């Protein structure tokens, strides 16, 4: 894992990858900035109404200068909620749109001998991203009671984001070079290693501001792992291994 993480960092320093880091961030920020311009006032008003029923907020209103915090608490909550939403959007945009460019770049530079079976398609990548988001939201809902225990916040945040990283990037990293059966085999045999890589990238995502650029680094991490693993696997192929194209079936 350390080798893969270091290779990805080296690849990140290429001017093309550094420039590519800006695109998913710009797209995600533009999407949510437009949403904020359209619905900001209504969202703040709704949150403010909900929060005025909280005993803690009523306590803050009784003491100055805590009243200043209470008066703007709805804005603070909305901004705090938007931060992870923007990051999740960046991950999905990177996986669906930026990863093909990254795979082509890394494949040509570092794995030119690796034959392309093209087991994935754009529609398969989009479906994989949707499925990953649905499973992620389900896990968030299931673990919601645990968020009331403050010491668990870092673990829950990193674990869930690590799962999303692995679920999105593992398919897109292999889509161009691997056949569908090869993708399934790597996902099955390296499930926990992939999750571990996702967690490592999730740590980087928690660095203020720089975290928004971490998905491109995460994509490079999974590309290097996936193509290295694929190269070794083809040295010992399974009998009857297929190269069918992945059209939309969920890789679980």
Cα distances (angstroms) measured from residue 153 to each of 75, 146, 150, 159, 209: 21, 8, 5, 10, 19
Task: Assess contact for 174 and 150: CB atoms under 8 A.
Answer: no
The residues facing 147 across adjacent strands are none
Query: Contacts for 65-74 with beta carbons within 8 Å, 24 or more apart?
Result: 73/48, 74/44, 74/45, 74/47, 74/48
Q: How far apart are CA 213 and CA 86, in angstroms?
A: 11
Encoded tokens for 195: 């999750």
Q: What residues contact 246, with CB distance under 8 A and at least 6 apart?
A: 119, 120, 121, 124, 171, 175, 180, 183
222 by DSSP, 3-state: which? helix
pTM over 0.85: no
Q: How far apart are CA 47 and CA 53, in angstroms?
A: 10
Task: Assess contact for 243 and 179: CB atoms under 8 A.
Answer: yes
- Smallest CA-to-CA distance from 153 within 97, 69, 80, 237 is with 80
Average pLDDT value for residue range 144-159: 86
Condensed to tens digits (0 to 9), the pLDDT of residues 29-77 reads: 999 989 888 888 888 777 777 666 665 555 555 545 545 555 566 677 7
Residue 23 above 50 pLDDT? yes
Task: Assess contact for 211 and 191: CB atoms under 8 A.
Answer: no
pLDDT at 8: 94
Task: Assess contact for 1 and 198: CB atoms under 8 A.
Answer: no
Least confident of 47-51, 93-97, 135-139, 204-208: 47-51
Residue 3 above 80 pLDDT? yes
More confident residue, 99 or 80: 99
* Domain chopping of the chain, boundaries: 2-22+84-234
């Amino acid at each position: 894992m350390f080798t893969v993480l270091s290779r990805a960092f080296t690849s990140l320093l290429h001017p093309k990858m550094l420039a590519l880091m800006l695109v998913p961030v710009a797209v995600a920020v533009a999407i949510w900035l437009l949403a904020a311009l359209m619905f900001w006032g209504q969202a703040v008003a709704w949150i403010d109404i909900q929060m005025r029923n909280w005993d803690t907020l009523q306590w803050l209103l009784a003491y100055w200068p805590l009243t200043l915090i209470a008066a703007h608490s709805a804005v603070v909550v909305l901004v705090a909620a938007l931060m992870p939403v923007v990051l999740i959007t960046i991950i999905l945009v990177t996986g669906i749109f930026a990863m093909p460019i990254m795979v082509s770049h890394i494949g040509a530079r570092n794995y030119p001998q690796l034959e392309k079976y093209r087991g994935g398609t754009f529609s398969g990548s989009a479906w994989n991203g949707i499925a990953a988001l649905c499973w992620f939201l389900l896990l968030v809902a299931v673990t919601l009671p645990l968020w009331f225990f403050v010491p668990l916040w870092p673990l829950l945040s990193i674990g869930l984001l690590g799962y999303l990283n692995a679920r999105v990037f593992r398919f897109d990293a292999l889509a161009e070079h691997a056949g569908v059966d090869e993708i399934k085999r790597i996902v099955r045999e390296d499930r926990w290693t992939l999750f571990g890589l996702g967690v490592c990238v999730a740590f980087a995502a928690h660095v203020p501001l720089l975290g928004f650029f971490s998905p491109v680094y995460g994509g490079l991490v999974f590309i290097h792992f996936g193509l290295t693993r694929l190269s070794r696997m083809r040295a010992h192929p399974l009998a009857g291994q297929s190269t069918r194209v992945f059209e939309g079936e969920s890789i679980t």
